[in-house]
Amino acid sequence: MIYNDDIANKALKNGDEKAFTYIYNKYFPQLCFYAEKIIRSMETAKDIVQDLFTKLWENREKTDITTSLKAYLYGSVYNTCLTHLTHIKIVRNHIEYDLTLENCDNRQQTTDSNNPLSILILKEIENKIEKGIESLPARCKDVFLLWERGLSYEEIAEELCVSIGTLHTQIKRAKTKLRKSLKNI
């Protein structure tokens, strides 16, 4: 059968694996480059797009695409990237807050947002957090980011197909590694 987007979309709803393969092969590379432009990490972009295709296949029967297939896929990637960036910002703010409290206690400094020294310290903290998160092993980073996003251990275990004990270990490792990378600030 020769596919185009409309035919593939309809065939996908009926569980046609060849239609899914057509969609995947046509859009995966484009969507990865699009996501990478938004989040500036090709590895994370590939993960986001892979998750999109996994959900597309798993939810094929109940997914109702009212726009063009291309618009639906690009819109889904865009929204997921924004969610990812928001999550990263929340994680950074959380860690920065903890570090700010430690700095206030240890160095008797305040974090006035107009104070040039505070601004410099916060920028340095942000850079260290970014590098710390990116340096985590892939599985450890995935677990940590899902945990910081507020998912329960059960939800994370189900999504990543790991045991809850493994999650505890991965989160502990991530926190320890991030603390070490931020210790000399």
Entry pTM: 0.52
Residue 37 structure tokens: 């432009």
Average pLDDT, integer, range 36-59? 91
pLDDT (tens digit, 9 = 90+) per residue, 104-152? 544 444 445 556 666 777 777 777 777 888 888 888 888 888 887 777 8
Q: Give the integer Cα–Cα distance in Å for 133 and 98.
A: 16
Residue 70 structure tokens: 């291309």
Q: Of 21, 35, 20, 25, whose CA–CA distance to 74 is shortest?
A: 35
The residue count for the chain: 185
* Average pLDDT score over the chain: 81
- Select the more confidently predicted residue: 2 or 97: 2
Inform me whether the pLDDT recorded for 53 exceeds 80.
Answer: yes
